[in-house]
Amino acid sequence: MAAKQASEKVKSRRVFGQTRKPVKMFRAGLYARVSTSDQQTIPLQIRALRDYAVRRGWTIALPVKEVGSGAAQRECRERILQAARRREIDVVLVWRLDRWGRSVTDLLATLYELEHLGVGFVSVTEALDLTTPAGRAMAALLAVFAEFEREILRERVRAGLAHARQNGKRLGRPITAGLHADQVRKLYRAGVTKSEIARRLQIGRTSVRRILA
């Protein structure tokens, strides 16, 4: 009887004659972010992320909420990235892509890092799942847009420099401080403080420190 039960257990682990692989329980990091003027959507985001994780059968390992007013503020996001680097999570869940990335370039940089770490990424409302082949194809398209964004920025910088030159504006580090180099060193050897030297010669204290360095 015992032998028969053991045989049935062995068969139950096989699918079409092959051993069934155990399903991996993914550990999910949830990231919700809002601006300071739109904090009421935090519960909506968290509920949507939790519901998605439950449907996928994932364990919620690290929920993170962030409130910020500027596009450059993503300090709490670093907690998610640190957890990924320590292999404490297997997938990152966000409500929308703009909640995660400051720009297309920043978005791609973090997605590449997560991919290198073997950590998945899912944007719930945009149906972007980088754990699937279709999602990885979408990431490739995002890379094209990132390069387009960088090229636009380069063109703007070049246009701004050209416009400044046409208006006779001198570009680069100011040379006025360098003209006072001998006086700066002479005063400093005489015991005059750096702040006083900058005041007397009407140059910046940073320039004084740079000359003396």
* pLDDT tens column, 9-20: 444 444 334 444
The pLDDT-based confidence of 5 (bands split at 50, 70, 90) is low
pLDDT for position 68 = 74
Is the same domain home to 35 and 134?
yes
Q: Flag whether 184 is in a domain.
A: yes
Is the same domain home to 127 and 186?
no
pLDDT for position 91 = 94
Q: Flag whether 66 is in a domain.
A: yes
pLDDT for position 200 = 79
Task: List pLDDT tens digits, range 58-113.
Answer: 999 999 988 875 555 678 899 999 999 999 999 999 998 888 887 777 888 888 88
Q: Kindly name the residue from 7, 35, 69, 195 that is annotated as catalytic.
A: 35
Q: Flag whether 135 is in a domain.
A: yes
The pLDDT-based confidence of 136 (bands split at 50, 70, 90) is low
pLDDT for position 50 = 95
Is the same domain home to 38 and 131?
yes
In the chain, the percentage of residues whose pLDDT exceeds 90 is 21
7 versus 207: which is more confidently predicted? 207
Is the same domain home to 101 and 187?
no
pLDDT for position 30 = 95
Is the same domain home to 98 and 46?
yes
Give the DSSP letter string of the chain: -HHHHHHHHHHHTEETTEEPPPPP-PEEEEEEEE-TT-GGGHHHHHHHHHHHHHHHT-EEEEEEEEE-SSTT--TTHHHHHHHHHTT--SEEEES-HHHH-SSHHHHHHHHHHHHHHT-EEEETTTTEETTSHHHHHHHHHHHHHHHHHHHHHHHHHHHHHHHHHHTT---SS-SHHHHTHHHHHHHHHTT--HHHHHHHHT--HHHHHHHH-
Listed range (77-81, 162-166, 184-188) with the worst mean pLDDT: 162-166
Is the same domain home to 188 and 95?
no
Is residue 35 annotated as a catalytic residue, yes or no?
Answer: yes
Considering its fold, how many domains does the chain have in total? 2
Q: Flag whether 138 is in a domain.
A: yes
Q: Flag whether 15 is in a domain.
A: no
Boundaries of domain holding 185: 176-212
Is the same domain home to 206 and 111?
no
Is the same domain home to 42 and 120?
yes
Is the same domain home to 93 and 140?
yes
